[in-house]
Amino acid sequence: MPTELSVAEHLEGLREAMIAFVRYADRAGLAADVPTCPGWTVRDLVAHQGMVHRWATDRLQGARVADPERWLAEGAAEADPLEWLRDGVVELAQAFTRVPDDVEAPVFLEDAPAPRAFWARRQCHETTIHAVDAQTAALGRPPRAEETQIPLALALDGLDELVMGNVPRSKYRLRSSRPTSLAVAPGDAGVWWLMRVGPDPVVSSRHTGPIAADHVLEGTATELYLRLWNRAADTATPLGDWRELVAVV
């Protein structure tokens, strides 16, 4: 089961993330640096997020040609980029009401749900993580898990999307010359994930019950969510720095 959350729950998560994003971006100021996205200012972050929302709207509605560079330029040039950001997410939300449950649209992760559910889930986590980036800019440091107010169910869902959907893609550098295994085991849930790591792309699986792995990453679901999406102060793992092994933006 790729996700246990409904489209409505993911869209609510997207809404909550947007509220946090705008609040922290406004507090930090557009010129502030974003420590979790080296080289970016808050304006860059807003332009990126607004571009992704518009790109996702096009993908969801079956568009085969998109122009992300144009949207990035728009966001960078806007006199009020936060209003431009809001406009884009409103268009995205409206697109979810227009398309049918069985809409045909491209998806790009392993173990993906059906397209409408996929895009709701993807944009929920995309916006949640970038809201954390905006919070990082406001704080001047990555937030602690308890400062983010990310619900347990959402954190678990985001871990599942990352470990089952993203990490097995061949684009990432998580490899080992000798076969080994790494478990992601949140202490506040009854589910855990196993990544089998070798010279080829990772093979991931989800489990309940006793944990069996060569290495185990432990913490709360939200702590692990921030850590594996590279939004924590410490991204070290027994296999190396996660930020270098799985460089998600």
pLDDT band of 249, cuts 50, 70, 90: confident
- Which are the contacts of 11, defined by CB distance < 8 A and separation ≥ 6? 93, 96, 120, 124
> Would you say residue 1 has pLDDT above 70?
no
Q: How far is CA 86 from the centre of its chain?
A: 19
Contact 220, 232 (CB under 8 A): no
Contact 148, 132 (CB under 8 A): yes
Average predicted confidence (pLDDT) for the chain: 96
Q: What's the pTM value of the predicted model, to 2 decimals? A: 0.96
Contact 124, 160 (CB under 8 A): no
Closest Cα to residue 62, out of 18, 22, 97, 107? 107
pLDDT in tens, 6-41: 999 999 999 999 999 999 999 999 999 999 999 999
- Which are the contacts of 79, defined by CB distance < 8 A and separation ≥ 6? none
Return the pLDDT at 62.
82
> Would you say residue 129 has pLDDT above 70?
yes
Helix/strand number for the chain, H first, E second = 9, 6
**What is residue 205's three-state secondary structure?**
strand
User: What's the rounded Cα separation, in Å, for the pair 155 and 148?
Assistant: 11
Contact 191, 208 (CB under 8 A): yes
Task: Tell me the mean pLDDT in the region 150-167.
Answer: 98
Closest Cα to residue 200, out of 170, 158, 166? 170
Per DSSP, the residues of 133-200 read: HHHHHHHTSPPPHHHHT--HHHHHHHHHIIIIIITTSTTS----SS-EEEEEEETTSSEEEEEEESSS
pLDDT in tens, 44-78: 999 999 999 999 999 999 876 678 899 999 999 99
pLDDT in tens, 69-100: 999 999 999 999 999 999 999 999 999 999 99
Task: Tell me the mean pLDDT in the region 189-215.
Answer: 97
Task: Tell me the mean pLDDT in the region 224-242.
Answer: 96
User: What's the rounded Cα separation, in Å, for the pair 152 and 220?
Assistant: 9
Contact 144, 172 (CB under 8 A): no
Return the pLDDT at 63.
73
